[in-house]
Amino acid sequence: MARQRERFERTDVPTPSHRRNVISLVVAIVVFVAFFLGISHAWSRADSYSGFNESNLENAIDNQPAAATFAGTAASPDTIVTVLVLTTSQDKATLESASIIAIDETTGTSRVAAVPADLLVTTDAGTATLAVVYSESGGAACVVPASSTLGISFTHVFVAQESFWEAFAGYSAAGDAADGAYGTQVRQAISSDISNRLIDGFLQEMVSSGVEAAVAAPVSYPVNTTDGEDAGSVSSVDATQLSLALGLVVAA
């Protein structure tokens, strides 16, 4: 009679079970989702730098006239960086407002002036408001006319979607965590002549100099608004008082 062989169960080989299969599936899904989110974040961060080194904005900055000289004033002895900010609708179709940020690198402070979007400027084609120039020719076309009209030679220009300001407020409040989601949102909302290698440092300089507080309390200077020839209004400004308010010039 043949002898029946005794069976032994191996403890080193897992026994198939439905519960173990479910756990393995869940782990695989979690790993996939984490990988996908990581890739998405990395792509979003990299893409947020694509709006910098804009050649048309660089050319516009280079083609500005020198800053105007105003009677009874002298240029400030401080080192001041100025940024023309053109704030557009979220779809970038229209110019909603404009402003000038003046960062005094000598004192580590900043001032901000609001500039009317209906500012009357002169272009090669004639006179038009800043908003019309933007809608017809884009942000770069606004730089030289704004510079000539306001008497300011801008260091940089931002063409910023309206979401930029809310994102920058969060960026300013985030402190050491600023280069996370807020940093990506801020960069995605702007295009500029500034290089993608320098933009993060410049944004930090904006924070440290108090730009967020300056936006909330802009400087005051004379603005005159009248009815235009068409339906809209047009504005003019006192360029001397604007430069004095921003600290770009001082009384002689």
Number of domains in the chain: 2
Q: Are residues 163 and 95 in the same domain?
A: yes
Q: In the prediction, which pLDDT does 13 show?
A: 56
Q: In the prediction, which pLDDT does 40 show?
A: 41
Residue 219 CB partners (closer than 8 Å, separation 6+):
111, 112, 113, 245, 246
Q: Are residues 40 and 64 in the same domain?
A: no
Q: Are residues 22 and 124 in the same domain?
A: no
The kind and range of the H/E element at 91 are none
Q: Are residues 118 and 162 in the same domain?
A: yes
Q: Are residues 104 and 37 in the same domain?
A: no
Q: Are residues 26 and 99 in the same domain?
A: no
Instruction: Quote the pTM value.
Output: 0.81
CATH classification of the domain holding 243: 3.30.420.590
Look up the domain containing 138 and give its range: 52-251
Q: In the prediction, which pLDDT does 8 show?
A: 53
Strands 223-227 and 190-192 come out as: unpaired
pLDDT band at 182 (very low <50, low <70, confident <90, very high): confident
Tell me the average pLDDT across 234-243.
Answer: 97
Q: In the prediction, which pLDDT does 53 show?
A: 85
Q: In 3-state terms, what secondary structure has residue 236?
A: strand
